[in-house]
Amino acid sequence: MNENDSIIYKPTNALAKANNSISITKKILQNLSDNFYQKALDLFRKKDYALCIDFTNKAIELNSNNADFYNQRGYAKLKLYLVDDSICDFNKALEIRPNFPDAYTNRADAYDLNNNTDVAFNDINKALEIDTNYAKAYFTRAYLRFGQRIFKSKITIQNQNLDNLIKNDFNRAISLEPEYADAYAGLSDIFITLKLFDEARKNLEISFKHDPNNELAYGVSGLLKNELNDYKGALNDFSISLRIRNNYMSALTGMGNTKYNMKDFTGAIECFNKILEIFDKFQTAYYNRARAKNKLEDFSGAISDYTKAIELNYHDLDAYDNRGWIKKQLKDFTGAIADFSKAIELDPNYVIAYVDRGIVKEELNDLKGAMQDYNMVMELDPNYVYAYRYRGLLKEKINDIRGAVQDYNKAIELDPNYVAAYNDRGNIESNLNDLKGAMQDYNKAIELDPNYVYAYRNRGLLNEKLNDIRGAVQDYNKAIELDPNYVDAYVDRGISKKILNDLKGAVQDYNKAIELDPNYKYAYNNRGNAKLDLNDLKGALDDYNKAIQIDSKYHWAYYNRGLVKSKLANFQDAIADYSKAIELDPNYVDAYHSRGQAKSKLNNFRDAIVDFDKAIELDSNYVSAYNSRGNAKLDLNDLKGALDDYNKVIQIDSKYQCAYYNRGIVYYKLNKYREAYTNFSKYLELDPNDSDAKEYIRIIRNEL
């Protein structure tokens, strides 16, 4: 062997064995990691997501370069709503395998939960670019579009287009995987939104056939029952869904919304609180909790939750709109308009915001701006029924009665079950004295919705017009039964009770109205009227003073206070009150008449006649004004003028007894005893017990 032979390398048997041993070890580790992964998959199928994560951790410890392991761990984390952590795992999976459609699909779900919808759509499109036949990606895109449907405008045609895209995606997923239970449940979900309940049921049956323990299917079944007002059944389905998958936010959301529909607003809030404990970035939970808080009149809490919902998804048009509506209730009209305008800025086709902004503009007396908003809705969506109703109300306000009726008719044509439109049209018909038409519309509203409180109140007012006072009281009773805090119904019932001479009952109703609303001027004024009839002059005066304190321009209260002061023989102060009422309403005919009477009491007959003249100018059939003017002329010894006025009274109302008595006096003064006798006799037919008239008859008989 020469020197060079010593440097030739030849592997020894020991080294070969070592390398072989490493290779075997790697294979063992790979097998072990695969075993952990398979166990993780099994645990995932059993919905034990926490333990699934433990086993994928072990798999990753043994093999840190396997994209499937990271994707699976991320998916399990996503099921536990560990959203940010899940995104990290999906990122790692895609780093290892850039063309991994399932990782893109899962990450899209995670981004959607994090309210990053645009990025979610990018991921789902990437998944479908890699694999155009990937069923899960179509399913996920369908639900992404479902969310888009919620946050986009309410234009019918736009939603129809989106609805078709959603259905197409679910159907595509089913065509690729005919036993895809989630896809059938998702298709049912969109059919529920479209009110196609039979189609929804059919797809749910198929979903349950393929997977009897599918949490999504039970959740969607709960949604269907909720829509059909089977709230008990809905809650049961949501409970089953939650037993299948603990803390399933979709089921908790459905349960909360069902409790909301059951008016269990506290229970609803508890559901939404639970969701936010699980995942504090779940935008929908803030939105739904805000709705429930609003119902409990926690307006500050509701605004805070809507603000958080907007912070998480600034495209949530309904959150802006609902927050704006609460601001309107709180008289923050500027803030309300800002919210409605922001929603319109985000989506110029968002018709609801135009309607609501129009309503607030009306409150601010910007009637032109309100009309522009309502008209814009008609341009965007000619079938948007609510806009016709509100435009009708505005037209009624600006005295375009024909236009208002046309709008109500159109609203009813578009939706024959639109209760409020029947009620509103009934109001116009009542004002136009089409009492039969009004009654038909109020009856229709009540037939469609036996709990529609306003129709009962309005029908009560109509019954008063028809002199069916007891029928009116029955309607007010029903309105109060439906809404024990309905202030107007108490006041209206009080008025009817006063007509029935149940003055104490009337006072009780006004007391209740004032208890509910201590600043309700009409209740004080009407209670004053009842007290006046009960001869409680001090109590009446106090009520009229309170009404005036609340509203210094309330002309009826001045007039009624004047009546009390006249009764107290304080005619000068009474005249001041009547004058104030006339200043506030120059056409207040009763105020001219009463002021004339007060002036007559002060023997200021000529000025009194001026007031009676004005009352008659305003109402040429005002019999009391003719009679009072006749009395003033009689006091001025203008017998011919007095006789003309009494004749006019009797011409208008042949049963107006005082006119016969007064005309009898004029004839007596004119020595026309037979005519005087005839008039006093007629008066006694109407009032047989008047001793003064009997005395005149006795005297006249002697003269004859």
Distance, in Å, from the CA atom of 625 to the CA atom of 614, rounded to the nearest integer, reads: 9
- Whether residue 302 contacts residue 291, with contact meaning beta carbons closer than 8 Å, is answered with yes
244-260: per-residue pLDDT in tens?
999 999 999 999 999 99
| From 20-24, 166-170, 185-189, 555-559, the region with the lowest mean pLDDT | 20-24
Checking if the pLDDT of 591 tops 80, the result is yes
Rounded CA separation 575/580 (Å): 9
Q: Report the pLDDT value the prediction gives residue 158, as an integer from 0 to 100.
A: 52
- Give the pLDDT of residue 169: 96
% of the chain residues with pLDDT over 70: 95
Say which CATH topology domain 36-117 has: 1.25.40
pLDDT of residue 359 exceeding 70, the answer is yes
Other beta carbons within 10 Å of 57: 13
pLDDT band at 702 (very low <50, low <70, confident <90, very high): confident
Task: For 299-334, give the secondary structure using H, E and C.
Answer: HHHHHHHHHHHHHHCCCCHHHHHHHHHHHHHCCCHH
Distance, CA of 353 to CA of 365 (rounded, Å): 18
pLDDT at 22: 53
Residue 157 has pLDDT above 50, yes or no: no
Domain definitions of the chain by residue range = 36-117, 553-653, 661-704
Q: For residue 290, what pLDDT is reported?
A: 98
Report the pLDDT averaged over residues 9-30: 58
- DSSP codes joined into one string, 427-465: HHHHHTT-HHHHHHHHHHHHHH-TT-HHHHHHHHHHHHH
Give the pLDDT score at 172: 97
Of 550, 572, 577, 549, the closest CA to residue 562 belongs to 577
- Using the predicted structure, report yes or no on whether residue 625 has a pLDDT greater than 60: yes
Which residue has better confidence, 584 or 162?
584
pLDDT at 315 over 80: yes
**Residue 5: per-residue pLDDT:** 40
Arithmetic mean of pLDDT, 132-144: 96
pLDDT band at 4 (very low <50, low <70, confident <90, very high): very low
E-state strands within 543-692? none
What pLDDT, on the 0 to 100 scale, is given for residue 146? 87
Say what the pTM is. Answer: 0.76
Q: Per-residue pLDDT tens for 92-124?
A: 999 999 999 999 999 999 999 998 989 999 999
Average pLDDT over residues 626-647: 97
Confirm if 491 and 510 have CB atoms less than 8 A apart: yes
**What is the arithmetic mean of pLDDT over 173-192?**
96
Six-digit token string for 426: 């009934």
User: Taking residues 36-46, what's their average pLDDT?
Assistant: 95
Gap between the Cα atoms of 51 and 32, Å rounded = 17
Position 302 pLDDT exceeds 50: yes
Asked whether the predicted pLDDT for residue 412 surpasses 50, the reply is yes
Report pLDDT for 159: 60
User: Which pLDDT does position 9 carry in this prediction?
Assistant: 37
* pLDDT-derived band at 684, boundaries 50, 70, 90: very high
pLDDT at position 155 is 43
Q: Is 19 a residue whose pLDDT tops 70?
A: no
Fold matches, 36-117 and 553-653: yes
Strand segments (E) across 257-407: none
Residue 1: its pLDDT value, please? 36
What mean pLDDT value characterizes the chain?
Answer: 93
User: Binning pLDDT at 50, 70 and 90, where does residue 703 land?
Assistant: confident
Measured CA to CA, the distance from residue 306 to residue 308 in angstroms comes to 5
Please compute the mean of the pLDDT values over residues 614-622 and round it to a whole number. Answer: 97
Q: CATH number for the 553-653 domain, one of 1.20.1730.10, 3.40.50.12280, 3.40.50.11540, 1.25.40.10?
A: 1.25.40.10
- Binned at pLDDT 50, 70 and 90, residue 704 comes out as confident
